[in-house]
Structure 1
C-alpha cells in the first residue's frame, strides 16, 4: 500500500479508491515473527491443521544518502505468490536493520526513506521481484536513487501534488505500491533482479498551478524493472488543452474548485487528482498529457459545494482543445451513459437527471424546491417518489409482471433569481414487459443548446439559433415526429418553431424577460416524450 499517503498534505479529491491488501501485520523493533501472522483454522503442523510452510529469514538493511541508518523509513513486504501471497508486513527497527521470517514465495518490497526536512525529499526504492527461497539479505540504499523530474513548459508553474504508482503481476496475481507527495522532491530506484518481461507497470502523475489554470502531467512505464529516476521536460506541442468555463448568474460572483484526474480504465490504474480554484465567472486552462488517456473533471461552485458537476472521460489529443462550461443554462433533462431507464425482471429504475447544465454535465445534488417522480401502469399509479433523489432523476418501482403501457412523469421546481430553469416537466410513455435480465426501456430527452453568456443570458430583442439534440431511443434517425415551441410569458402561451438543420430560431424578448422551451417527440416505435423547461434562459 502507499508508504506516503498518511503523511501527504495533498487536498485533492479523488473518486477512485486504492486497492487494499488482504492482511497487514505491523512489526516492531526486536521482533522476528515467523509464519502465523494470519489466522488459521488450527495451529500449523498441529493435529488437524495444515502443514507448516517452509520459511526463511529476510534481513533488510536501510542506508540513507550518507550511507548511515536513515532518520526515518517505512518498508513493506507484500506476498505475491506462495503461502504468503495474502500477507503484508511492515518490519521496522530504529537501527535500520530489521528481520522477518516469511514463507517461501514471491514478494514485492518497497521502502520510503526520508527526513523531517521537506527539502531533502523522499527516496522510494522498489524491488518488484523478491524470490524468498533461502535466508536472504536485502540492502535498501538511498544512494542508488535518481530524481523524478517531470516539468511543464511554463517554468513559473507551482507544484501542487504528485503520485507514483507501481503494479507487479506474477502467476495471475497483481500487487501494488504507491507514494503520494506534496513536494517535488522525490527520488526513486529499482532494487534486485529483473522481473518477467512486461510484468512491471509504473506511472507518475503530477499537477502544477498557474495564474490561469495549470498542468496535469502523466508518464507511464512498462517493463521488467521499477524506474530508477524519471526525467521529462514537456513542450507545449506535447500537451492537449482542457478549457474549463465556470458560469455565474447576474451579480452572482464567487469562486469554484475543480479537480482533474485520469479517467478510470484498463490503462489508467489508481491515481491522485489535482485540485484547482478559479473565480466566477471565468475560464481556466489546464494543459494535460494525452499519454494518460482521457481525463475526469469534477466542478463545484462556492455557492453550493454539494452541487458537483461531472465531466467524465474527456479525451484531449496533443495540440487540440476541449472546452467544458459548468453551471450554465439550459438546465434540462439529460441521459447519462448507459441506460436512463432500465427494467430488471419486474423492477423499473430511472436515472434521468432533470437539471443537467447546458453542456449536459450532471449533478448528484442539484438545488431544487420540490421534485416528484411518478410511474403509471395502464393509467393506474404504481408509485411516486419525491425529494433529492427525484430531483437527481433517481427512482425505482416494482411493477406487476407481464406487458403493459407505462407513463413516467417527473417534475422539479426551484427559485432562480437569474431566470435559469424554474421548472422542468417531463413525461414519457412506453410499453414494457417482464425481462429475464436488465434491459433498457426506450426513452428519449431533448437538449437545447443556445450560445449564452457566462451569466446565462442572450441578447434582448435579437433572434438566436438554438441547437436541438435528441438523446436516447429516438436518436440517430429514429424520430417519427418532433415539435418545438417557445414561450416568453412563463408558459402562458406558446409559439411553434420549425426545426431546421438541427436547430430552431428564437426571437428573444425584451431585457429581463425569459424564454421557456418545450419539445414533443414520438419515436419510430411509438414511444413519446413531452418535455417543458420554464425560464430556460433570460434576455439581457
Structure 2
C-alpha cells in the first residue's frame, strides 16, 4: 500500500479530468495546442503498488497555527481483527473555519495518532491493509468531521463492506477498482480516492451525515475478458460516503463502445486505446491496438458519458497523435468511433471546455482550430504536416502572416475601426501519393472589442464511409455526407456550393447537395478525390474551403 502524489497535487493515473485538461493546454515550440492527454497511459506505473490513496489538497496548504482555537484530534486505527494496526494511511483536510487550508497526514506505528488542529470542518479518509496486502484494502471516509472540541475518532476496518462489482463474463479478470469521494461544504470542495489492483476492496462511511447532496461517491471497476474490456462505473450523490457496493450487471445492461484504428498512411504499428468516464475522476483502462484493429469496451450507462481515447504508434523523434471523443452509453447499443482516418479537414472541437475557433479580444485576433481533424472530426494532439501558414487581410491588405502549427495563429491589429477581414489557414500533409492540402478562408466584419468575442467561423465537413486505409472502391458511386458546423449550421446557411475534382484539382465539377450529401463517381484505382465548398451564412460571412486529395481509390 503506498501513496503517490505529484507535486501539483495530482496522482499518477487518477488526475481529475478538468485538471488534466488545463495542465495540458500548453503551447509547444511550434505554437500548437496540446490536446487532452491520455491520462490512463501512466496507469501501469501507478498500479505497481497494491493500492494507493489520494486526497486532493487545498489550493494553498497551511500548517496549523498555535493558539486557543486549537483542539486535540485522536485517531485510533483497528484492523479486521479489531487489533491496533500500523498498516494505515490517513489524511485530514480542512474545509472551513480556522482549519481551512490545513492538510495533515498523521502516522504512528502504535495505531493511535494525536494531533492538534484549528477548529473547523474537515474531511478524513483512511486506508487500512496488511503489510503484504494479501487480505485486501479497507477504505473508510468521514466526509463530515466537525472539530469544535477535543475529539476521538476510531477507524475500524470491521465496519467496512465489500465492493463486489463484476461483469457478466465469467472468465473476466479484475484489473483495478477506484473508489472516489468528493465533498462540498461552505463553497469549498475536497476529494479523496483509493485504487486497488489486488481485489478485496472494502469501503465504509464514518461519522454523521453531511449536508444533503454534498457528497458525491463513485466506484469504477475495470475488468479484462476474452470478449471485451469492461468499465463498470456507478456514481451517487447523497449525504454519506459508500459502505460497500454490490452490482452484477447482465450483458443487456451494458453499452458496447468500439475504437477502430485507421492506417491511412500505411505505416502499420501498434498504438493504445483507452476508455474512462467522461465526468469526474477515474483511472481508466488501456489496451494495445494495432492499426486497422478494433478494441471493444463494455460499460455501464449509469456512469454517464464515457471518453474513448486513442494514441497512434510512436516513432523515434515523432510524437504520437492523441485523440479523444465523448460518447453516450445506452444499454444494449453499440457505438463505434474510428480515429486517424481520412478525410482530414477543419472541424470545430466538440470536447467540453473547448473555446471558440476564432476570437477577437481588443486589438488581438486569434485562431485556434483543428485544421487537420480526422474523418470523424477528432482533433489530433500532434497533427502531422509538412508546412502550415495562416494569413490575415484587412480590407484586402495583408496585415500578418504566421507559419507554424496548422490552424493556430494570433495577430495584433493596429486599427480598431470596423473592417472586412479575410483569415486564411493552409496546411500541406502527407507525402508522395498520400500528399494532401487543406485550406480554409473566412471573411467577416470585425472591430476592436472590450473583451473576448467569438468570430463567426464555420466549417464544412465531408464524411464518406472509407476503409481503414482511407480508401474507397474505384469506379463506384459514393455518397458523401456534407455537414456545416458553426454559425452557418442549419438555418444559418444562406448558400452552399460544393465542387469535386478527380484529377488532383486540375478541373472541378459541381456536386449538388441533396439530402445532406453529394454523390461522387470515384476515379480509377490509385486516383484521388478532392472537395471544395463555398459557404455564406445569413449574416454575410463566408467560407471558401478546399480539401485537396481528400481520399484515395483502390
Q: TM-score normalized by structure 2?
A: 0.86
Q: Secondary structure at the match of 1:332?
A: coil
Contact 1:13 1:259 in 2 (8 A): no
Gaps spanning 5+ residues in structure 1: where?
26-36, 45-51
Given the alignment of the two structures, is residue 64 of structure 1 paired with residue 79 of structure 2, yes or no? Answer: yes
SS in structure 1 of the partner of residue 360 of structure 2: strand
Distance 1:13 1:174 in 2: 15
What does residue 49 of structure 1 align with? none
CA deviation profile, 1:401-451 (whole Å, cap 9, x unmatched): 0100111111111224563x6111221111112223322222221111111
Question: What secondary structure sits across from 1:364 in the alignment?
Answer: coil
2:483 corresponding residue in structure 1? 469
Aligned residue in 2 for 1:534: 548
TM-aligned CA distance change 1:13 to 1:134, over 3 Å: closer
Name the CA distance, whole Å, in 1 between partners of 2:238 and 2:137. 23
1:451-490 matched pairs, under 5 angstroms: 451-490=465-504
Distance apart, 1:138 and its partner CA: 1.7
| Secondary structure of residue in 1 paired with 2:490 | coil
Structure 2, unmatched stretches of 5+, are 20-54
2:201 paired residue number: 186
Residues in 2 aligned to 1:132 and 1:141: alpha-carbon distance in whole angstroms: 20
1:524 has 2:541 as partner: no
Deviation at 1:19, TM superposition (A): 4.3
Structure 1 counterpart of 2:47: none
CA contact (8 A) 2:384 2:430 kept: no
Q: 2:455 aligns with which of 441, 457, 472?
A: 441
CA-to-aligned-CA distance 1:92-115 (integer Å, 9 cap, x gap):
111111111122222221111122
Between structure 1 and structure 2, the one with the greater Rg is 1
CA positional deviation for 1:491? 1.2
Q: Which region of structure 1 is more displaced relative to structure 2, 224-233 or 247-256?
A: 247-256
Q: Is 2:276 the counterpart of 1:261? A: yes
**1:320 matched residue in structure 2:** 333
Q: 1:491 to 1:118 in 2, by over 3 A?
A: farther
After superposition, the CA RMSD in angstroms is 2.5
Kindly provide the CA deviation profile for residues 162-209 of structure 1, in whole angstroms up to 9, marking residues without a partner as x.
321112233333322211223332111122233333332211112222
CA deviations over 1:458-493 (Å, ceiling 9, x no partner): 011111111111112221133332222222221122
Alignment partner, residue 58 of structure 2: 21
Indicate the SS of the match to 1:128.
strand
Which residue in 2 is equivalent to 1:48? none
Q: Provide the secondary structure at the position in 2 that maps to 1:363.
A: coil
Q: CA deviation at 1:224?
A: 2.8
Name the structure 2 match of 1:209.
224
Contact 1:152 1:233 in 2 (8 A): yes
Is 1:175 the equivalent of 2:183? no
Corresponding residue to 1:139 among 149, 154, 170: 154
For 1:528 and 1:193, locate their aligned partners in 2 and report how far apart those are by CA, in whole Å: 61
Quick check: 1:514 aligned with 2:528?
yes
Hey, what does 1:295 align to over in structure 2? 306
Structure 2 residue corresponding to 1:228, chosen from 243, 247, 253: 243
The correspondence of residues 321-400 of structure 1 with structure 2, limited to 5 A, is: 321-337=334-350, 338-387=355-404, 389=405, 391=406, 393-399=407-413, 400=415
CA distance in 2, matches of 1:512, 1:524: 40
Match of 2:287 in 1: 276
How far did 1:242 drift?
Answer: 1.5
